[in-house]
Amino acid sequence: MRIVAPISRVAEVALLAQAGASELYCGMMPPEWLGRFHALSVNRRPSGNLTRYEDLASAIELAHAHGSTLSLVLNAQHYSAAQGEAATEVAERFAELGGDALIVSDLGLVQSLAARLPGLRVHVSSVATCRNAGAARLCRELGACRLILPRDVTIAEAAAIAAEVPDIEIEAFVLNDGCIFEEGACHTIHLPGQLGGPICLDRYQYRYRRRDGGALSPGLLERLRENDESYERWLWYRFSCGFSTTPEGLPYGPCGLCAVPALRRGRVAAIKIAGREAPTARKLASVRMVKSVLERVCGGEDDTAVRRFAMELRPSEAHCATGFMCYYPEVLRAEVN
């Protein structure tokens, strides 16, 4: 099982590879893209991208020198014909520089890139929202060798896909960056905080009224208030617990560490740490956490011992007990039952 981690700076490559990330991924935003298309991003993220091919070349070289691979993200849901050609040019430059894999969500682009650049692996992004064996088979037929599952696919579903379509690798999320909707069906942009942030974090003020015009009872108003508070609490967990950390810098937020044993048994090939825009310290702490758990799994510790270790890492027992922080809450439900 491989640990997949994001980079947004060349300086992060050696640090994350040495910490245990065997695969790295990054975005690339050529300066000419904005001028040509008046679009903020090639890959849904306007920030957290490399901007020079010289840096991309350095990142590839460093990754390989440290025994890791580097993948390039081209995962907008759709590209116009002109954008598709430009994205293909970016992919070709990446291939010439010795890059290893492309992460793509537009299935038409998956097919064309797989045919045009046979020396590069193509991974289907979670943004493609492929969440069953039929979709996995289609991705394989189009030339992809890996399917990155969307958030909220269960362990059982991931294992079933891996079993039914053994000739495509399965990658699943393990740490950081939740999404309150279905990412692939969301057509907003993850703007940086200073530009307003993602639209799903907007805090609207609600007013409630009865359809028949009658007065809202005190009991109903109280239930509505509790519901709103619960939703705000869930949002906080989904958005990485406010990007909070322990004093040692270990990150809170969406987590699947307890599920690593089950994911490994289910033949999931790689586990993904999200968060290209995150600070280097957060990425580094994330890789170290995932590696420490995976080492225990590979060393033969049972699920209970691994779960206890994972929960005590930060510690996060109180957060875990809510179930809101879990990518795979069925692990906790199984423990209770």
Other C-beta atoms closer than 10 Å to the C-beta of 198 total: 17
User: What pLDDT, in 10s, does the model give residues 19-69?
Assistant: 999 999 999 988 888 778 877 678 877 778 999 999 999 999 999 999 999
- Contacts with 116 (C-beta within 8 Å, 6 or more apart), sequence order: 88, 91, 92
Question: What pLDDT score was predicted for residue 335?
Answer: 64
Give strand ranges (E) for 113-208.
121-124, 146-148, 169-175
Q: Place 196 in a pLDDT band, splitting at 50, 70 and 90.
A: low
81 within 8 A of 90, measured Cβ to Cβ: no
Taken in order 180, 184, 189, 190, the sign of the CA dihedral is: positive
Residue whose C-alpha is closest to residue 66's, from 325, 333, 287: 287
Q: What is the pTM of this model?
A: 0.91
Domains and CATH numbers, the chain: 2-192+238-336 (3.20.20.380)
State the Cα–Cα distance between residues 301 and 307, nearest whole angstrom: 10
Which residues have CB under 8 Å from 114's CB, separation 6+? 122, 142, 143, 144
Select from 69, 14, 20, 66 the least CA-distant residue to 290: 20
pLDDT tens for 135-188 read 999 999 999 999 999 998 999 999 999 999 999 999 999 999 888 777 777 776
Residue 13 pLDDT > 90, yes or no? yes
Asked if the bond preceding 218 is cis, omega within 30° of 0, the reply is no
